[in-house]
Amino acid sequence: MKIAVLAAAFTALVTNAGWDYTGFWVIKDTRQPKCSIVTSNPVIDGPIGPVLWGSGPYSSEKDAELAMSTIGSCN
């Protein structure tokens, strides 16, 4: 029982610690004409900042490319 409680506490700590998930995100950046794929969680600044929106995380670059091909504003 104690092990289960400790495991649950550790899991909650790890998932809530803000650790960066290694993955891929599709972003629309105002400085570039097309969408791009990045490997860190983008900071969305809104309509005034450089990154308008982001989608992800995706587990592989191939998954991010597939998602990018289905997003209307990326084409």
Structural domain of 28: 20-74
Question: Does residue 24 lie in a domain region?
Answer: yes
Once rounded to an integer, what is the mean pLDDT over residues 31-36?
88
Question: Does residue 2 lie in a domain region?
Answer: no
Once rounded to an integer, what is the mean pLDDT over residues 13-17?
44
Question: Does residue 6 lie in a domain region?
Answer: no
For the chain, helix, strand, coil in percent to 5 are 35, 25, 40
Question: Does residue 39 lie in a domain region?
Answer: yes
When comparing pLDDT for 5 and 75, which is higher? 75
Give SS3 for 34. Answer: coil
Question: Does residue 35 lie in a domain region?
Answer: yes
Asked if pLDDT for residue 64 goes beyond 60, the answer is: yes
Question: Does residue 58 lie in a domain region?
Answer: yes
Question: Does residue 3 lie in a domain region?
Answer: no
